[in-house]
Amino acid sequence: MSYEIQDFEKQVIERSHQVPVLADFWAPWCGPCRILGPVLERMAAHAGGRWELAKINTEENPQLASTFNVASIPAVKLFVRGAVADEFVGALPEREISRFLEKALPSPHASQVEEAQRLLDEGAHSTAAELLEQVISEEPGNLGARLSLARALLGLAPERIADVLAPVQPDSDQAEKADALRALGRLAQLSVQPNQLPEAKVRDRYLAGATAVQSGNFEVALAAFIEVLERDKGYDNEGAKQSCKAIFQLLGMRHPIVERNFRAFSSALHS
């Protein structure tokens, strides 16, 4: 199959309003271009219609190269709704290109994931989970939907979180949040299996934190874990510290709950 364009306006600009188009600016004399080209073609053949490839020979289309500021080749630009949404230069390995696409490609279910996130914020976890399950069934590679579903499952079925997050690879941009949700999933399970925790004076407070995680009340959870951290840093293999860090990672350091509790966490950690 030939991916060389004949009409840039039609095959790239207009087409990108229907499906994202990955434009590969290349030239026959360019060694890295000859390495990258077959990789992109192979990936396009297995893209399942989520994006399409268009190859632009800069020797034959110098004006296009100038219009899109192509100073070095290979230059790859992702067109979405008629404009460049993201780009990279050079012959990246396939794994790096996959990461680029994972981050740059718009999801066809973006509005549904956004609605599910709103439902989560309002505490409607079951409704959000149903919506997210549908998105994932239609778009298994939507990692954002998987993360949101894992958060919903904290209070519904935390034992499922590991399976839901299995496709999130260690080199993914979402890996840290996935790790945080796995850690919080363990806590949510502990809230209904308290006998798995060792006896200690801080056990009840630790379980209170785990129960708060299970119900989605991260402020209460942080208060409990910070208290455990002050009294027994080593309990549950430093579980209080790791639990606080997981909540911080999940919410983000600029979240109001994190901002209100981070100083107390830091003080307890270093006391």
Write out pLDDT tens, residues 124-176: 999 999 999 999 998 888 888 999 999 999 999 999 999 999 999 888 888 99
Same domain, residue pair 139 and 87: no
Q: Is residue 146 part of a domain?
A: yes
pLDDT (0 to 100) of residue 115? 93
Residue pair 184/250 in contact (Cβ under 8 Å)? The answer is: yes
Give which of 43, 45, 77 is closest to 58, Cα–Cα.
77
**Looking at 33, 78, 92, 229, which residue is catalytic?**
33
Same domain, residue pair 73 and 133: no
Q: What CATH number is attached to the domain comprising 93?
A: 3.40.30.10
Same domain, residue pair 99 and 117: no
Which residues, 6+ apart, have CB-to-CB distance to 232 below 8 Å?
200, 201, 202, 240
Q: Is residue 82 part of a domain?
A: yes
Residue pair 59/27 in contact (Cβ under 8 Å)? The answer is: yes
Provide the phi-psi class of 9: left if phi over 0, else alpha when psi is between -120 and 50, else beta: alpha
Please give the model's pTM, rounded to 2 decimal places.
Answer: 0.69
Same domain, residue pair 85 and 117: no
Q: Is residue 202 part of a domain?
A: yes
Q: Is residue 174 part of a domain?
A: no
- Burial label for 49, CB within 10 Å (0-12, 13-18, 19+), is exposed
20: containing domain: 8-104
Q: Is residue 263 part of a domain?
A: yes
Residues pairing with 52 in the sheet: 21
pLDDT (0 to 100) of residue 176? 94
Give the C-alpha separation, 85 to 241, whole Å: 39
Same domain, residue pair 121 and 85: no
Q: Is residue 178 part of a domain?
A: no
Same domain, residue pair 96 and 118: no
Residues pairing with 26 in the sheet: 57
Q: List, run by run, the mean pLDDT of 10-residue segments along the chain (271 residues).
A: 88 93 96 96 90 95 94 95 94 92 81 90 92 92 92 95 93 90 95 90 96 94 97 96 96 95 96 85
Q: Strands 83-89 and 52-57, how do they pair?
A: unpaired
Whether 33 is a known active-site residue: answer yes
Same domain, residue pair 13 and 67: yes
Same domain, residue pair 118 and 89: no
Q: Is residue 161 part of a domain?
A: no
**Looking at 5, 30, 56, 222, which residue is catalytic?**
30
Same domain, residue pair 83 and 117: no
Same domain, residue pair 93 and 36: yes
Same domain, residue pair 120 and 68: no
Say what the alpha-carbon torsion angle 264, 267, 268, 271 is, to the nearest 10 degrees. Answer: -160
Q: Is residue 258 part of a domain?
A: yes
Domain count of the fold of the chain: 3
Same domain, residue pair 67 and 144: no
